[in-house]
Amino acid sequence: MVMFVTVHVLSGALLGAVHPRPLPSRPWPVFATAVASHLVLDAVPHWGTPDDATFLRAARVDGLIGLAVLAAAGLRSPRSSRSAVWAGMAGAVLLDLDKPALHFFGRPLQPCWVRWIHQRV
């Protein structure tokens, strides 16, 4: 089962917005928390399989929505939390970057041990 990326983008933006303010040069705690949140969200049952044509159509639309949400949340967040919001969104979507890379280029981006952990969740 696969979750759409917009949910991960929104959760990462929220984590960045509410996380105790890291120094702008230290967004790593937010990034790590967002990666962990991705795994937690993926553990929740959700809709679709990557090889289903209906799912693929919906995933394309959601990918565009996710990009728009990512840009809007990153650009419209208050300056004081902007780096944390960007770090949260980056961490929240990092594990799913292999899906479009595999779909468009035929190869994943992450090392096999990262994919193994992600698939087991």
22-50 confidence digits (pLDDT tens): 566 678 899 999 999 998 988 887 766 66
56 conformational bin, left if phi > 0, alpha if psi -120 to 50, beta if neither: alpha
> Does any domain span residue 72?
yes
Q: How many domains does the chain have?
A: 1
Indicate the pTM of the whole model.
0.83
> Does any domain span residue 105?
no
Measured between alpha carbons, how far is 118 from 120 in angstroms, rounded to an integer? 6
> Does any domain span residue 70?
yes
Are the beta carbons of 84 and 19 closer than 8 angstroms?
Answer: yes
Residue 118's pLDDT is what?
75
**Range of 34's domain?**
5-92
Residue 107's pLDDT is what?
81
> Does any domain span residue 111?
no
> CB atoms < 10 A from the CB of 58, how many?
14
Give CA torsion, residues 58, 59, 64, 69, to 10 deg.
Answer: 100
- Band of pLDDT at residue 10, cut at 50, 70 and 90: very high
Measured between alpha carbons, how far is 26 from 46 in angstroms, rounded to an integer? 33
Measured between alpha carbons, how far is 26 from 83 in angstroms, rounded to an integer? 9
> Does any domain span residue 23?
yes
> Does any domain span residue 65?
yes
The model's pLDDT over 35-89, given as tens digits with 9 standing for 90+, comes to 999 989 888 877 666 667 887 888 889 989 999 999 999 999 998 889 999 999 9
